[in-house]
Amino acid sequence: MKKMLVVGVSLLILAAFFGAMAMSFSFGSPKMTDMDDYFLRNGQEQTGSNNECTAVVFDFRGFDTLGESTVLFCAIVGAALMFRKMQGGEEYEDE
């Protein structure tokens, strides 16, 4: 019984902490920065894209997106290699 009480109080304290953290952020009203203004003023002219999100992700941050895609591809290939079926004559290495 005492263990359940400790777990319950701990969960309550944890929930209160995360609730207070969530309430302290200003969701829906981010601060405007110089970079935001730059992207909004020059995005369509420099990239030719009508969608500002697409312009930022694929044109202004293209190398970052390429790097993330490369990491994702390597993770998928690694997982596929781990779960592949063994061919005839191959053995597991259990050293």
Identify the pLDDT of residue 95.
Answer: 53
Give the whole-angstrom CA distance, residue 84 versus residue 76: 12
pLDDT at 25: 79
- Residue 15's φ and ψ, nearest 5 degrees, are -65, -40
Phi-psi region of 31 (alpha: psi -120 to 50; beta: other; left: phi over 0): beta
What's this model's pTM, rounded to 2 decimal places? Answer: 0.43
Predicted pLDDT at 31: 75
The C-alpha angle with vertex 52 and arms to 48 and 55, in degrees rounded to 5, equals: 55
Percent of the chain at pLDDT > 90 equals: 31
Q: Output the pLDDT for position 29.
A: 72
Q: CA-to-CA distance for 54 and 65, rounded, in angstroms?
A: 11
The segments of the chain whose pLDDT lies below 70 read 86, 88-90, 92-95
Is residue 56 within 8 Å of 39, Cβ to Cβ?
yes
Q: What was the pLDDT predicted at 94?
A: 58
